[in-house]
Amino acid sequence: MTYNKISADVLSQINAIVGAENVLSIPAAMEIYSHDETEDLVYYPEVVVKPKYTEEVAALMALCHEHLIPVTPRGAGTGLAGGALAVNGGLMISMERFNQILEIDEQNLQATVEPGVITETFIEAVAEKGLLYPVDPASKGSCFIGGNVANCSGGPRVVKYGTIREYVLNMEVVLPTGEVIWTGANTLKYASGYNLTQLLIGSEGTLGIVTKIVTKLIPKPTFDALMLASFTSNEDACAAVSAIFRAGVVPSALEFMERRGMEWVIKYDGINFELKDGIEAFLLIEADGSNQDVVFADCEKINEVLEQYNCQDVLFADSSAQKEELWRIRRTMAVSVKSNSVYKEEDTVVPRAALPKLINGIKEIGSKYGFESVCYGHAGDGNLHVNIIKAGMSDNDWNNNLTNGITEIFELTVSLGGTLSGEHGIGLVQKGYMPLKYTPVHFAIWKGIKAVFDPNGILNPGKIF
């Protein structure tokens, strides 16, 4: 695809659409838009624009469609796969001014929200009404709900409450041609033609720009309990995960963390936690519900299972403050690992009983290639984030040989029935690995779908495939 640069004429039209005060074109002003949370990648757009209304987004898209200017939609820039990087320059449309919760409909347990609302802001707003929106990625304090939709983001509570797919009912979307549609209806069930809502979720901003989101809400559980269990081996901890479900309990979170992740959290985040010798892995387990006795009974059942898997200690959080402290360990782990070393983060997902094989295999691959790894993630979903640490690898090996090691990790993931990404998306940095799982037939279908929505290929080009 050959794209055009943004000419002075086009820039003046952009200014006319949104007002010059919402247009940035000097590199210094665009620095924060030149990267996301993916390693050290930097790509500057030519122009950043901050529309406020759907009609403005539509006018911008129509203009870029006409002039063959690449467009990169942008949420909060917290992505981990480079999906919001302007790899072809062009226009970046930042959705940060789409920051309104338009309605919380307590009659229908639905909300209508703009994509630039911070996820945690939305969660707190509905919680005030006694309602739960359970999609809470680790970055919930800074990520946008629109970015969550684009990446099919998860978080710890997916294991009980389901992914964002189960909460987004309908969306207003600006298509790459500038046309505006609602993808579906504000209903809990839908069997009326190909489901465009579901197709757009996880499409990483390549098929349209979401401008309104209608979500389902559910009654908020009134009790929860949180426990941290420690193990002398990763394998025991991972094996306990599927046993908990087989015992008939569905926890509201079931997170795995390796010892080294915990060490780095203690070192970089100032958490006060005594790490005992011999402990190699942790499970952070939450149960919730509307009845305290039942929540405690669930915890007891979980505890019985943990004992069968050589669990060493179980720490029950006995206050809100302690719960928050334990959650902070899990949430800051990515940042702590990042502080410590040159690293690359890969997002693997397998059927949950395959976790022990996956984690053992990752360590073996690390030995072969000379890298270390810190693994943690949403073990209840079989979703393991693999942080590859440069450690003793030479720069040459890191730069030239590591992709072979990552390839082996993904080959293992696929052989276990899994796939490349459970919740981070493919974006820019994972697309080279896609042929490990998908055939030319898949690529042909994906590209065909892309061309239906975006005949000129201007929207977020170079992502996914």
Nearer Cβ to a second copy, position 355 or 393? Answer: 355
Distances (CA, A) of 189 to 109, 166, 171, 192, 265: 14, 10, 15, 10, 43
Write the DSSP assignment of 166-206 as a string of letters.
GTEEEEEEE-TTS-EEE-S-SSS---SSS-HHHHHTTSTTS
- 135 within 8 A of 115, measured Cβ to Cβ: no
- Greatest CA span in the chain, whole angstroms? 70
Least distance to a second copy, CB of residue 163, Å: 6
Nearer Cβ to a second copy, position 248 or 392? Answer: 248
Determine the Cα–Cα distance for residues 317 and 226; give it in Å rounded to an integer.
6
Nearer Cβ to a second copy, position 100 or 290? Answer: 290
Amino acid residing at 12: S
Least distance to a second copy, CB of residue 382, Å: 6
Paired with 216 in beta bridges are 110
Q: Tokens in use for 159?
A: 């294991």
Least distance to a second copy, CB of residue 217, Å: 9
- What DSSP state is assigned to residue 419? B
Q: Is 105 helix (H, G, I), strand (E, B) or coil?
A: strand
Distances (CA, A) of 172 to 54, 117, 179: 9, 15, 11
Q: Is 98 helix (H, G, I), strand (E, B) or coil?
A: coil
Least distance to a second copy, CB of residue 97, Å: 25
Q: Tokens in use for 390?
A: 């440069």
Nearer Cβ to a second copy, position 190 or 273? Answer: 190
Least distance to a second copy, CB of residue 77, Å: 18
Nearer Cβ to a second copy, position 45 or 184? Answer: 184
Least distance to a second copy, CB of residue 147, Å: 12
Nearer Cβ to a second copy, position 166 or 280? Answer: 166
First to last CA, the chain: 14
Nearer Cβ to a second copy, position 44 or 446? Answer: 446
Least distance to a second copy, CB of residue 248, Å: 4
